[in-house]
């Protein structure tokens, strides 16, 4: 059993949109942010004998609906635009350029590539901004928000932001009804990282040299803050995700594999806004 605490998601200047795996950030400009489109995922199901129609038109229609309804000035995609690894499938060759060409006609688009996005640059129109995989920041008044997919260590300037947005792990919660039947639902995860553990990892050289920025004296230039971390549910309609309340679940990305993300005090929200409370009260 779990306790339903609230029916809205209160996150200050950023607002997950009710019923959607999308967030609206009201910074110096209005930004619509989504993660994990996984264009071409249906091919993986087809290999197993499960056939779904292409979800790309649904994704495009949903994004256009949100753009029309909320009138953001920019659309940001936090990685895993494509699904196939490492090559590009025929479906991706056809659908990704068309999708982003259509979106770019109505809004400025920026992409933070994910681990599935090898060679994505070949598919993306030239007028779309392509960020480094380690992420970058958006200024929100006096505050700074870091954006990345989540499969790499954040860039140094993301370590001291006020908020950090990421995708990659497709957060979900496994719920059990009165008949004992389990349901998996997409959720938003709102949490922190373990600042001391992160500081120790860097101090003990547990992060590879390629992830460091050093000055000429080889002194690491790094200030680690205590940001609020928002983990995005997958935008692809067929992806439910990884149950954060299942002790058997495996999570990806260095912040997770090095156990830097706080779990017990993380909060889970259904996409309809229901606050399920702390993960520590939801384990099954």
CATH code, domain with 140: 3.60.21
Residue 7: inside a domain, yes or no? no
For residue 244, what are its two tokens?
A: 């954060």
Residue 173 maps to a domain? yes
Residue 233 in any domain: the answer is yes
pLDDT tens string, the chain, 284 residues long: the values are: 333 444 456 676 889 999 999 999 987 889 999 999 999 998 777 677 777 888 999 999 999 999 999 999 999 999 999 998 888 888 899 999 999 999 999 999 999 999 999 899 999 999 999 999 999 999 888 899 999 999 999 999 999 999 999 999 999 999 887 777 888 999 999 999 999 999 999 888 767 545 444 443 444 557 899 999 999 999 999 999 999 999 999 999 999 999 999 988 899 999 999 999 999 999 88
Q: Does residue 5 sit within a domain?
A: no
pLDDT digits (tens, 9 = 90+) for 30-52: 999 999 999 999 877 767 777 78
- Token pair 């619509």 is found at 32
Domain contains 264: yes
Residue 47 inside a domain? The answer is yes
CA angle 98, 102, 107 (to 5 degrees): 140
Give CA–CA dist 124/115, Å, rounded.
16
In a domain, 4, yes or no: no
Q: How many domains does the chain have?
A: 1
Domain membership flag for residue 2: no
On whether the CB atoms of residues 232 and 164 are closer than 8 A, the answer is no
> Which range of residues forms the domain containing residue 156?
14-281
Reference 244, options 189, 177, 192; nearest CA is 189
């Amino acid at each position: 059993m779990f306790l339903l605490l609230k029916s809205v998601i209160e996150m200050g200047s950023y607002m997950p949109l009710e019923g959607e795996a999308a967030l609206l950030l009201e910074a110096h400009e209005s930004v619509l942010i989504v993660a994990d489109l996984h264009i071409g995922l249906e091919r993986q199901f087809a290999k197993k004998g499960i056939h779904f129609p292409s979800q790309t038109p649904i994704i495009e229609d949903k994004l256009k609906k949100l753009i029309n309804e909320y009138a953001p000035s920019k659309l940001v995609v936090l990685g895993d635009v494509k699904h196939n690894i490492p090559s590009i499938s025929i479906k991706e060759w056809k659908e990704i350029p068309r999708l982003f060409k259509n979106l770019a006609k109505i809004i400025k688009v920026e992409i933070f590539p994910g681990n599935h996005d090898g060679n994505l640059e070949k598919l993306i129109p030239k007028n779309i901004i392509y960020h480094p995989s380690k992420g970058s920041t958006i200024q929100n008044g006096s505050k700074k928000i870091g954006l990345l997919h989540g499969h790499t260590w954040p860039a140094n300037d993301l370590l001291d932001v006020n908020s950090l947005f990421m995708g990659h792990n497709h957060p979900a919660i496994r719920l059990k009804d009165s008949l004992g039947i389990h349901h998996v639902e997409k959720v938003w995860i709102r949490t922190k990282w373990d600042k001391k553990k992160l500081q120790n990892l860097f101090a003990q050289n547990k992060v590879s040299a390629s992830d460091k920025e050093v000055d000429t004296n080889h002194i690491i230039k790094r200030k680690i803050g205590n940001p609020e971390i928002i983990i995005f549910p997958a935008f692809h309609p067929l992806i439910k995700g990884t149950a954060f309340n299942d002790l058997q679940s495996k999570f990806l990305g260095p912040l997770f594999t090095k156990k830097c993300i706080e779990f017990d005090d993380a909060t889970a929200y259904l996409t309809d806004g229901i606050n399920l409370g702390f993960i520590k009260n939801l384990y099954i």
